[in-house]
């Protein structure tokens, strides 16, 4: 694997929401390719379990941190702790996310604000805090997790969560704008827009609408861990050293 385009040996990756779901998939492939791993979320136990698993399976260094990414003081504290524990941060994956299923006419303001605070403000705060370190080093890879829901409007019977879809569209533009601002300073910023994957967040929708989702997907299937891992590995490695500001849909063609 050494000298491979995808080798991450000696790199450190910080993955928000890395204790479960898509974040854990990404953490595992980075560890498999040699990166040291820092995972954080509001649920420390999930992150600790993931860190222990990655250390024992791949022989890399992994640590867990508790963090609400919408809280600036917590973000500052966690980034400072990761920098102390690992010396540097080379890769940031902004994966922490929240959603709220409700019709627009009945959506509580506090639900809208919660989703925006976690998904958009959290991505900004993490990118700013880690980005300052990356700018000092003149190198960094930032990967934001968007969604196909931010690329196209779904009918309410499939996805009725306007705050979530709006927040993910915001993430896509944030990715492009930040990439443009930092392109000349060694920082790469890209986004992945997953389609429907089986995770805790999508469990309810998939249980109710799996047949419809699969039927309308050009590849006639849901996403699996390896399809997401390949794209995440590409964007974190030197294989993507001429790629920035891109939103890559990993969705079986559902956004076409």
Active site residue 164: yes
Please work out, in degrees rounded to the nearest 5, the angle formed at the alpha carbon of residue 64 by the alpha carbons of 95 and 57: 95
Residue 189 belongs to what H/E stretch?
strand 187-194
Structure tokens at 168: 């993910």
CA distance 86 to 54: 16
Please state, in angstroms and rounded to a whole number, the distance separating the CA atoms of residues 172 and 196. Answer: 17
CA 22 → CA 81, 83, 105, 143, distances in Å?
A: 24, 24, 30, 13
Give the Cβ contact number of residue 211 at 10 Å. Answer: 8
Other CB atoms within 10 Å distance of the CB of residue 81 = 15
**Chain length of the chain:** 256
30, 33, 58, 164: the catalytic one is 164
Could you give the CA distance from residue 54 to residue 59 in angstroms, rounded to a whole number?
Answer: 7
CA distance 13 to 28: 11
Tell me which residues are annotated as active site. Answer: 164
């Amino acid at each position: 694997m050494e000298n491979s385009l995808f080798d991450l040996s000696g790199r450190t990756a910080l993955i928000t929401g890395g204790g479960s779901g898509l974040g854990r998939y990404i953490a595992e492939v980075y560890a498999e390719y040699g990166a040291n791993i820092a995972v954080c979320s509001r649920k420390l136990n999930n992150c600790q379990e993931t860190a222990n698993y990655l250390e024992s399976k791949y022989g890399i260094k992994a640590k867990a941190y508790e963090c609400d990414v919408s809280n600036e003081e917590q973000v500052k504290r966690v980034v400072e702790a990761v920098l102390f524990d690992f010396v540097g941060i080379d890769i940031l994956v902004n994966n922490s996310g929240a959603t709220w299923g409700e019709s627009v006419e009945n959506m509580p303001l506090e639900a809208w604000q919660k989703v925006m605070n976690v998904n958009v403000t959290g991505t900004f705060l993490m990118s700013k805090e880690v980005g300052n370190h990356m700018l000092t080093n003149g190198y960094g890879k930032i990967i934001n997790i968007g969604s196909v829901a931010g690329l196209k409007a779904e009918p309410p019977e499939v996805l009725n969560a306007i705050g979530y879809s709006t927040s993910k569209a915001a993430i896509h533009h944030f990715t492009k704008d930040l990439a443009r601002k930092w392109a000349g300073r060694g920082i790469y910023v890209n986004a992945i827009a997953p389609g429907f994957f089986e995770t805790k967040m999508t469990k309810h929708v998939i249980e109710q609408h799996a047949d419809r989702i699969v039927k309308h997907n050009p590849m006639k299937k849901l996403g699996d861990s390896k399809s997401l891992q390949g794209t995440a590995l590409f964007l974190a490695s030197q294989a993507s050293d001429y790629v920035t500001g891109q939103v890559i849909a990993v969705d079986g063609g559902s956004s076409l």
